Amino acid sequence: MCADRRLIFDGGTGLRKLGREIAQQGPTEIDLFLTHTHLDHIIGLPFFVPFHIPGLNPRLWAGHLLPDRTLKGTLSEMMQAPLFPVPPETFRAQVEFHDFACGETLYPSPEISLQTAPLNHPNGACGYRINFDGRSICYITDTEHYPEGRDPAVVDLVRDADIMIYDATYTEEEYPRFVGFGHSTWQEAVRVADAANVKTLVLFHHEPTHTDDIMDQIAADVAKVRPGTEVAREGMILRP
């Protein structure tokens, strides 16, 4: 929550549970920002309860689709037969769709700013920096570093952030098999955090085949080179 607004990032399967919790808590102002529209980041949208509550006015944002596509059109393609029986037009809430050009700064409310920057991912993606009340959190998912070094757009976006949540899908030993897939490593996450003077690094977007033992080993390894780094897990609460 930032002031009276709830900011949500991406819409995977966890969005269904979150939507039920929001509905139980009562009306709230909702902004849902998408990094991109691959299925694992939008599959929960049709099941997000606030979209189906009359009187609510949730806003849905994406910065990677223009000029060729729009967010509403893309979601409509997913939510149509034979893939899905209910189109977005049946949402009972007054859902607003906002397309922007990644690189713009957004203002969900006067006291909240979101800086954005493009990420290196197939079909495009957008990273976010939330600035509120003198604190900042960066959400950098689905991005691949470049052979020549850090992505300057990402480093600039996250510079001096209180928290950076970063794509750490692979280890550097695994990465050569997945060049071009659009994902990064925990070691690169550390390098970006150090280069940008990030206070707290959070590793996430874990490789699904990584077992708990592998994740525990990553946590131990990253603690040696950047103490205080968090390895994201379901239900984790972070406070900048």
- pLDDT (tens digit per residue) in 67-124: 999 999 999 999 998 999 989 999 999 999 999 999 999 999 999 999 999 999 999 9
Q: Residue 161 has what pLDDT?
A: 98
Domains of the chain (ranges; CATH) run 1-107 (no CATH), 134-240 (3.60.15.10)
3-state helix, strand, coil in the chain (%, to 5): 30, 25, 45
Q: Residue 150 has what pLDDT?
A: 87
Q: Residue 75 has what pLDDT?
A: 95
How far is residue 61's CA from residue 84's CA, in Å, rounded to a whole number?
Answer: 22
Assign 224 a pLDDT band (cuts: 50, 70, 90): very high
CB of 47 within 8 A of CB of 40? Answer: no
Q: Is 128 exposed, middle or buried (0-12, 13-18, 19+ CB in 10 A)?
A: buried
Q: Residue 28 has what pLDDT?
A: 83
- Region 191-218: mean pLDDT is 97
Assign 168 a pLDDT band (cuts: 50, 70, 90): very high
* Greater pLDDT, 239 or 97: 97
